[in-house]
């Protein structure tokens, strides 16, 4: 567990000039001014002995921080898992509302930004200031694009009444959505028929299971597998629907999905925003020419953070958008 190599190296270097005889009381950084290592490395903090030690400390620090971020999101992934296993129909239902194309676009955008971030680290190590700044700017631009696409998605959701928790009031039925119709045309038609029945008879009392078992009203035939299966899977009919006295209605727990969706993507988006802030700060430091072979830690660590943000999205995307 110990790192004797760095420590003894540090010891050798630090013991070079003997400071004992100086009057330290009046001299703020007296003993450091004698130390050639600190003199040669303006970005080396006073409490570290060598740039290597400073970098190693920073690296361990950022990994620990990323570990805490993973644990932070883990709680949400855990809630997701618990709910998906208890209410799979909600997840099937809700994903039809999500725009997979936009989600995929965001995934690509983040992947590109991870590439430029990694490249930026190399640039910093080699003190290639111009390329470093370009890469940082592209990373920021990608992040910005991500946030814009996110805004578009959120705006759609707001417009469609797909809000979290108790504000969930979808304006469209899922069988009216293109994503549903394209994948399950027969089911969509059957759903429309059921919906028409509901419109006609507002106070029809009926046992919940009766409509499915083949004891259907005179006007509709018994459903086929293709017609019924997608509706059952999405909780539109059957015991998990919101209104068992109706022929068809959305699943009872549908609002929970959107709660989880907004929470997870919202928290992730918040981390992207923070990332943008940090990259801007790095851009300013890069512009001043701070980075080189002896000091590239901040870029390295920011890139690591950025990779984690990307990785979290790579898990979120299939879990939320690609549910079949």
Which residues contact another protein by CB under 8 A?
A: 1-4, 6-8, 10-11, 15, 18-20, 24-26, 31, 45-47, 53, 56-57, 60-61, 64-65, 67-69, 71-76, 78-79, 82-83, 86-87, 163-167, 252-253, 255-256, 259-260, 263, 267
Contacts of 14 (CB under 8 A, 6+ apart): 35, 49
Closer by beta carbon to another protein, 28 or else 182: 28
Compute the least distance from the CB of residue 244 to another protein, in Å: 16
Q: Which residues face 292 on adjacent strands?
A: 295
Compute the least distance from the CB of residue 34 to another protein, in Å: 13
Q: What is the SS3 assignment for 33?
A: helix
The candidate with the shortest Cα–Cα distance to 305, out of 269, 279, 266, is 279
The candidate with the shortest Cα–Cα distance to 76, out of 258, 254, 267, is 267
Compute the least distance from the CB of residue 297 to another protein, in Å: 12
- CA separation for the pair 186, 116 (Å, rounded): 46
CA atoms 110, 131, 141, 71: torsion sign: positive
Compute the least distance from the CB of residue 320 to another protein, in Å: 15
Closer by beta carbon to another protein, 25 or else 202: 25
Closer by beta carbon to another protein, 20 or else 213: 20
The candidate with the shortest Cα–Cα distance to 320, out of 162, 181, 214, 159, is 162
Closer by beta carbon to another protein, 42 or else 214: 42
- Count the neighbouring beta carbons within 10 Å of the beta carbon of residue 276: 19
Closer by beta carbon to another protein, 79 or else 147: 79
Compute the least distance from the CB of residue 289 to another protein, in Å: 22
Q: Where are the alpha helices (DSSP H) in 4-99?
A: 4-14, 30-33, 36-40, 51-86, 88-95
Closer by beta carbon to another protein, 164 or else 292: 164
Compute the least distance from the CB of residue 284 to another protein, in Å: 17
For 295, list phi and psi in degrees, rounded to 5. -155, 90
């Amino acid at each position: 567990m110990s790192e004797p190599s760095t420590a003894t190296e540090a010891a050798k270097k630090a013991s070079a000039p003997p400071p004992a005889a100086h009057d330290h009381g009046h001299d703020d950084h007296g003993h450091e001014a004698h130390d050639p290592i600190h003199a040669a490395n303006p970005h080396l903090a006073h409490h570290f002995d060598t740039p290597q030690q400073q970098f190693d400390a920073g690296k361990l620090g950022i990994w620990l921080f990323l570990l805490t971020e993973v644990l932070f999101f883990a709680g949400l992934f855990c809630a997701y898992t618990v709910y998906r296993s208890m209410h799979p129909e909600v997840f099937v239902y809700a994903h039809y509302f999500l725009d997979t194309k936009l989600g995929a676009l965001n995934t690509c955008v983040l992947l590109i930004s991870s590439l430029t971030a990694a490249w930026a680290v190399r640039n910093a190590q080699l003190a290639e200031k111009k390329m470093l700044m370009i890469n940082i700017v592209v990373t920021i631009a990608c992040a910005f694009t991500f946030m814009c696409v996110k805004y578009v998605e959120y705006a759609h959701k707001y417009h469609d009444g797909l809000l979290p928790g108790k504000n969930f009031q979808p304006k469209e039925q899922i069988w009216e959505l293109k994503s549903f119709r394209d994948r399950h045309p027969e089911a969509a038609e059957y759903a429309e028929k059921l919906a028409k029945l509901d419109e006609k008879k507002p106070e029809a009392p009926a046992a919940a299971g009766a409509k499915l078992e083949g004891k259907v009203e005179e006007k509709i035939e018994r459903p086929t597998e293709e017609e019924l299966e997608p509706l059952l899977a999405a909780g539109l009919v059957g015991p998990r629907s919101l209104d068992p006295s109706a022929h068809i209605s959305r699943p009872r727990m549908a609002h929970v999905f959107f709660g989880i969706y907004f929470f997870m993507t919202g928290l992730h988006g918040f981390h992207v925003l923070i990332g943008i802030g940090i990259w801007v700060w790095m851009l300013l430091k890069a512009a001043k020419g701070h980075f080189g072979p002896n000091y590239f830690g901040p870029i390295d660590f920011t890139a690591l953070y950025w990779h984690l943000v990307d990785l979290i999205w790579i898990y979120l995307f299939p879990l939320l958008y690609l549910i079949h």
